[in-house]
A and B are shown apart, each in its own frame.
Chain A
Amino acid sequence: MTRPLPPGWDEAVRLEEDPATVPDPASVDVPADLRAEIEGYMAKYPERHSATLPALGAAQRRHGWCSPEAIQQVAAVMQVTPAFLSSVATFYDMLRTQPIGSRSLYVCTSVACHLRNAKSVFDAIVAQAAEQGLEDVDLREFECLGACDMAPMASIEGRYVGPLDESDAVEIVRALKDGHEVLPGRGLPDPGFALPAASEQEPGPSEEPDVHPAGGTWADAEILDVPPAEEEE
């Protein structure tokens, strides 16, 4: 007996169809500027295959994500199969294979930022994004962005800002929503950018203070205050 496939899987692969071949350049409409950009990348390398990453990046900038249409256009210009491009696009974190949003807001929550309370900052930004109805933004936790000196930090469309705390979330989401520069003066490329003095950079409490292990006190009372189950019903 065959079990039913999970949702999505039954449509993901069309077994009755032939695999997609290298598209005929004449059959695919590629915007002239995108074609020129990709051909420019291909000319830079001894082998045209090397242009895959920059070409997918360019298509993503144009389409907002690596959509089937974007992949088809790149495949037509580079003369490779769409499947090859999909295999590459799914490997890299910055290439979106789902239409999540065309702008990026990456919040670093890796080891060094974790030690400085990054998770709370991320949660605060997520809460604000929901409250203010932020749309078309790829908001997610990201692995180390290489800016541990400004931890906790975030990368907004490639612009690094930090150090952040929970109270910055409102401003970040509002500026991003209105299309303004986020936290002017606090971005790494901004002229005169400097880290705040040591006293202002007290690391916050650890991620889960109530799960404090060795020698820590337990919030027993708090847990015991949970109303009994039957009252909630």
Chain B
Amino acid sequence: MAETRVLLANIDEPGLHTISVYERLGGYRAMRKALLEMTSDEVLKELEDSGLRGRGGAGFAMGKKASFIPKGTMDKYLCCNADESEPGAFKDRLLMQKNPHLLIEGCIIGSIAAGANKGFIFIRGEYTTQANILDAAVAEAYDRGFLGERILGSEHSFDLVVHRGQGAYICGEETGLLDALEGNRGNPRLKPPFPANQGLYQGPTLINNVETLCNATLIIDKGAEWFRGYGQGNSTGTKIVSVSGNVQRPGNYEIELGIPVRDVIYGLAGGPPEGRELKCFFPGGSSAPVLTKEHLDLPFTYEAMAEAGSMLGTASVIVVDESQPLVPLALRLAEFYRHESCGKCVPCREGTNWTVKTLERIDEGEGTPMDLDILEEVQGNIIGNCLCVLGDSMAMPVASMLKHFRAEFEEHMEAARRRRHLEDMATFGAGELAAVQEAGAV
């Protein structure tokens, strides 16, 4: 099973992060084309025709999103969402570290389509190395005149700033990102108005993921028709898949959308370690409901994953093998979302907390069969009831684990109760314990 390397075609080229090497390999050709040979409407049309869907999780058509930006002379903004905090996702890290100019070129193209004159790359604070590389790359682009006033003598001006976050998962949510960029706590906002109408500083704002903007560069360079040649149905193009967890070769792989999931997990990543079977996997980061063995032969597309009850999301495949108990995993997952919940909406703030408490109870041997029903009900009460989808991102995978592996949750609960009982017994003293054992209570 081979990769289809388009975005990652030159990724191993030494010195690709410098502008000289990037230009030697054909870099900034697309930007020249978009600035000098095309109108902004043509750029927008090309992006719409490509069918490129957002690579940051929601999968919304990028061209369509850009077309929502109103025309006019008001200040418009472009934000690149590089706050890659989804557990399991690490594709943007690779792109920014190895090929920062591809992203900068994509930002310039995105700004032409949206008519934006000011852009921000919101990178998570933990990515120190990558932010420094981006800073240097932006400075190089300014030196060459690719950023700033009237780029290459055209009418288009564009300034780009690398903005570092300070560690908050919620800033990956687009309106949370805007609040953080405005210098506030990263609380998501009520939608509508959508950022395309009222975003950063109340101006129309186009927000796109790193990989989406990188793809925009290739689409302008090679054409929408070429891009549509990859993929299946409405899932056009290639996708970088980050495979992690219990696999032999974790890492980033670029695939054509539509190849079977089995080829990704077993073909590219080598599958679970020798002698172990796959139990379940998250197809799109930890927010995606888990799928099981029977879904391995589905094509890896937005549509097929949605039909199977999950989502492609960021295409971050986390593989869980059969040696892993699910209750501690669900607990770890819920703890993450409890920690990252901004606390603005009650169902998310309380729901994540109660999910953690219930799972802790089950894991520590204090659970009762009713707890599983409570757990299910709590998840149902979170989904769709908050300003953003952070709560849903916990509720969906936890609910899916319960759905597919309810028997394991029940067994785990019973086993933990039994262990707890034995521990309590042990503290009674040897004599009593023997008596209890004889009586057959254990």
Contacts and interface: CB of A to CB of B under 8 A. Distances in A.
B129 A115 contact: no
Given A146-B90, A230-B429, A52 B184 contact: yes
A96 B321 CA distance: 37
B423 A53 contact: no
A44 B164 CA distance: 13
Contacts of A33: none
A149 B90 contact: yes
Interface string A68-107: 0000000000000000000110011111000000000010
Contacts, number: 214
Nearest to B413: A213
Given A88-B185, A110-B332, A206-B328, A116 B161 contact: no
Interface in B343-391: 363
Contact of A202 (B88, B273, B320, B332): B273
A167 B163 CA distance: 37
A218 B323 contact: no
Bin the interface of chain A by size: 35 or more
Contacts of A201: 248, 250
A226 B210 CA distance: 55
Nearest to A93: B167
A53 B415 contact: no
Interface in B404-418: 407-408, 411-412, 415-416, 418
A115 B85 contact: no
Contacts of B431: 228
Interface stretch (B45-53, B63-71, B120-128, B305-313): B120-128
20 contacts: A47-B182, A50-B183, A88-B183, A88-B185, A92-B165, A94-B125, A94-B126, A143-B340, A144-B169, A145-B126, A146-B84, A147-B90, A155-B126, A158-B126, A195-B250, A208-B325, A211-B419, A213-B327, A226-B426, A228-B427
Interface of A: 44-47, 49-54, 56-57, 87-88, 91-95, 106, 109-112, 114-116, 142-149, 151, 155, 158-160, 188-189, 195, 198, 201-203, 205-208, 210-214, 216, 218, 220, 223-224, 226, 228-230
Interface of B: 75, 84-90, 92-93, 97, 118, 124-129, 161, 163-169, 180-186, 201, 242, 244-246, 248-252, 270, 273, 282, 286, 316, 318-321, 323-329, 332-333, 336, 339-340, 342, 363, 407-408, 411-412, 415-416, 418-419, 422-423, 426-431, 433
